[in-house]
Amino acid sequence: MALAGRNILARAKNGTGKTASFVIPCLERCDPRKPVIQSLILVPTRELALQTSAVVRELGRHLGVQCMVSTGGTKLREDIMRLYQTVHILVGTPGRIFDLANKNVAKLANCDMIVMDEADKLLSPELHQVMEKLIGKCSPERQLLLFSATFPAEIASFTKQHVPNPYKINLMQELTLHGVTQYYAYMKESQKVLCLNKLFAKLNIQQSIIFCNSVERVELLARRITDDGYSCFFIHAKMPQADRNRVFHEFRKGVVRHLVCTDLITRGIDIDTVNVVINFDFPKTAETYLHRIGRSGRFGHMGLAINLICEDDQTRLFQIERDLGAAIRPIPRKIDPKLYCI
């Protein structure tokens, strides 16, 4: 349907291959003989932009298609210089791409294919206006492809206005991930670090991602885990970009076993050695919960999600169970390794 030029609204579980399903049509429809930007792939974070551009380059290695990635947190001058050369597919975050388009450096008039990955995040209130202006700078005959695991009601007005007659694909039999077993452990706040240590000792963790709800708690917890003798890094949006890149690269290489973070990397980051996700702080919404636990159990692998629950979290736990139709069970004394180990 993408190759036929149809607008698309697609929903699918995390880890099922959404990236390839839009990168391949972008590459197929690109004419490398034309030295203009023909496809625009928009994503919400720098990490996801880098990962997506790597997929574009890998799949398009022999096609002569030039791909560029552009995000905030990097030198604008370098992006401007790169755009003086040929770029066929531009991957990036909305703010930086809009800045370049506004300066008439990123010329989008011939761009007739726009992909919005993690569309629910791209159409959040803080990005909604930027997205509309950016799309307005592209070809009037543009084709829009929206991909996400969740499509909140808030984006209905955008799709009605900008995505006429879309072909709808919904592969979500249910919102939760079949490969991820979900447990909760009920405790006092003061018991969380002790519980974490017990989980590290008892579980067969290849790599784990541990989520906190604030930057301060991320840094404090990472230091505590390191002091207790475990290999651990942390990452959050307030870190310098060079440090974020280093941490993400080292974690992907398997240099450390545990990564403590905010919701910065809940979306689209594929590290198939992550088999355990721990919500040290319970998330506030069902969407955030879904994207967090989706960091494990990717590409058909099994995964484990463990939620550390305090009294104040109980209502949200019940609500997220109801919203997602999920069964988040009390943690047993012994967890079968077959549930989350390859």
Question: If we measure between CA atoms, which residue out of 256, 319, 268 comes closest to residue 292?
Answer: 268
Q: Which of 154-158, 169-173, 230-234, 268-272 has the lowest mean pLDDT?
A: 268-272
Give phi and psi for 63, each to the nearest 5. Answer: -100, -5
Q: What is the pLDDT of residue 319?
A: 87
**What pLDDT is attached to residue 299?**
54
For residues 12 and 66, which has the higher predicted lDDT (pLDDT)?
66
Phi, psi of 260 (to 5 degrees): -100, 135
Closest CA to 187 of 334, 337, 331: 331
Whether the predicted pLDDT of 161 surpasses 70? yes
CA distance 304 to 181: 5
Q: Which domains does the chain have, with CATH numbers?
A: 8-170 (3.40.50.300), 180-339 (3.40.50.300)
236-290 pLDDT, tens digit per residue, is: 988 888 898 899 889 989 999 999 999 876 564 668 889 999 999 999 988 889 8
pLDDT digits (tens, 9 = 90+) for 182-235: 999 999 999 999 999 999 999 999 999 999 999 999 999 999 999 999 999 999
Q: For residue 177, what pLDDT is reported?
A: 59
